[in-house]
Structure 1
Amino acid sequence: MDFEDSAEEAAFRRRARTWIAENAPMELKRELEQTPFGQLGLKSIDSLKAAKDWQRKKAKGGWACLSWPKEYGGAGASPIETLIWQQEEGVFKPLGMPFIVGLGVCGPAILVWGTPEQKAELLPPMIFGDEIWCQLFSEPGAGSDLAGIRTRAQRSGDGWIINGSKIWSSGARDSQKGLLIARTDADLPKHAGLTMFCIDTDTPGVDIRPIKQINGHSHFNEVFFTDAWIPDSQRLGPVGAGWKVTLTALMNERASVGAEMQTGFEELLPFVTRNCRSGCGLADTGLISRLASIAVRDNGLKFTNYRVMTAISETGDPGPENSVMKLVAGATSQEVAMLGMDLQGLAGAAMGGDVNEDGELFQMMLLRSAGRRIEGGTDEIMRGIIADRVLNLPPDIRVDKNISFNLIPHS
């Protein structure tokens, strides 16, 4: 593919660059540059407020959700123009973290499956950052086997009563709405008896409990539903079509997660240059080999993202190749964090206080890296998708494929 901007793309890049220079919160630039990737923990200002302010400013300026249709607040831009914007937004991109699930997963599903009334009601507040969304999919007994969920939605008048629980719901504590998959018919095979809903997190009977993570944060949450009633107008898609809606959401999730997931190489290379000219030795062939391997993968991910964006511009849909990016980026970021800690020597095991010049960059990166290999689909799920949909290998044997969900043994 041609990596040079066309005349139209170059003009778009200039407009984006000018707008960012005139409107971005430059007072936060230095702090954002020092924030470990995958985190938004500003100290000079409330992180959520800063994120909402930037999202609202982008929406008013016409730079939010560029690829969405204009009638729903987007700009109808091409995937290549969206990629150009992501490149130019640069250091300010982490301010969009609270909205990744909504704009990258829930919004695209609503665009495909929502009624005109649902799109008009739900999408504008999402784009302007007025409402944050979470994804209510995984359960304690159904993570990778997502179709095995046991949360029930039972008909009640002109609505539904929800009972069950979800886990690993990123950002649920700060969310006003969520995309909920529930079982509406347990007599059908597990993929056929599911229905998708949009639910307000302040609905009576919904209880959100933060999960304390190993890095001290509580980004993940448990969500419990106890006789939570919602109207049928909050159903997304036909009854029983929940799995099809889920696939739409998941394909966009992997596109969003894969494209946004960094390896940490940009943080590692300056650290090595700054600290390892002597002592650990830049001339050490083992170190050079490890750095070269990471650099190759980092560049491979960048160009794979370009190829994926080109494919989206031709087909309009994210493909299974995003699973490759997610798989490689997750494992590489963990390797980068471990190498960064190794190069710190004994200080690599220390946290708190001014233990080294780079603070706790690689320590926090390592503590977060395990979650990155789970969210959006585990490594094993990604390999299965690649084998099935990229390499066209024979699918795994599924003995529960056509069996009523009620007849499947559960332990």
Structure 2
Amino acid sequence: MRVIFNVDAITAPLTGIGRYALELARGLARHREVEALKLYSAYRWVDDPEHALHANATIAAVRRNVPFKSAALEAYTQLRSALFRLHTWRLDGWLLHTPNYVLMPFAGPALTTVHDLSWLNHPETHPIERVRFLDRHLPRSLEKAAVVFTDSQFIADEIETRLGVPRAKLRVVPLGVDATYRPRAADELRATLRKHALEDVPYLLVVATQEPRKNLARLARAYAALPAALRARHPLVVVGARGWLRSELEQALGPLEARGEARRLGYVDEEDLPLLYAGAHAFAFPSLYEGFGLPLLEAMASGVPALTSDRSSMPEVVRDAEGTIALTVDPLDEDALRDGLQRLLEDAPWRARAAERGARHARTYPWTRCVEETVAVYREVLGQGR
């Protein structure tokens, strides 16, 4: 099969969608059934998945520093579509996969991945231009797509109910976790933990962009309500890029940081992140809404007991054949969050069992599974075309 794969999302710092696009591109480049792979980013072809990270740096800087208001975004979209048509008009017998919502115009079979409906469910947590863009362009992409991939059954159900996409067009392919996320011996962790001043510190880890949907302000207030001795033993460590609408988070985290009970590390180097997971005493991810919740899988793979929300896709991700592995709580209830955090930090028998089950469960989600299940759908679509 011959595949055109869009790699716009492969931009540092990698978010969940960027990680998905990068791992899928890498897997497709190695796959025995993909006889030819062409990677397209923004307005040109790129050589390989690693080149995409470098090639996308310029356009990412433009997006960060130039305000993309509606008119400018529409002009950019039209220009990008025209260039893609020009670059692909002679490519017969190819399949297009866009791993980030909106398809580019293409005469052959086209597939898209819709990771969540956050712009519909929580529009207040997105720039208004993004909401308008998806409202305008996603319906046509969903109509054009031969298949719509989703990361979880929860999102597939939402897409069918909210957007009217036929169930027959939907395919659930979960994300994966890299083998670098695993339990580690203390000597493996020492240099990285010392680098971040966390050596011999049993910290409570959070990995999330600092934006409202991640619910970090409520988490910080719930953490602040824990006994002082518990906070002293288990400082709150937040890893992730600064996002938007952070004033509530600043008010909640500021006093904790001033007392040395919380720290923000910001975006950390990719090689440090698996070690920061593995060195944590516990992991919290009380997001209001997720299409999958990749950090949960990374924490479980690292042998770290976790707490998360009792809604959207998160219970699906932390469930094995025996039931729910992580603690799940109402993310809007700060008392429930506080009580959950206390058990997460102190209940030794539960912690040991959750760590063992979580690591075993996460091993069933390698990125190779995501790649194989995606290629199987390509094969299905191309077979239907013949």
Q: TM-score, normalised by structure 2?
A: 0.26
Q: Higher relative CO (CA 8 A, sep ≥ 6), structure 1 or 2?
A: 2
Greater C-alpha radius of gyration: 1
Q: TM-score, normalised by structure 1?
A: 0.25
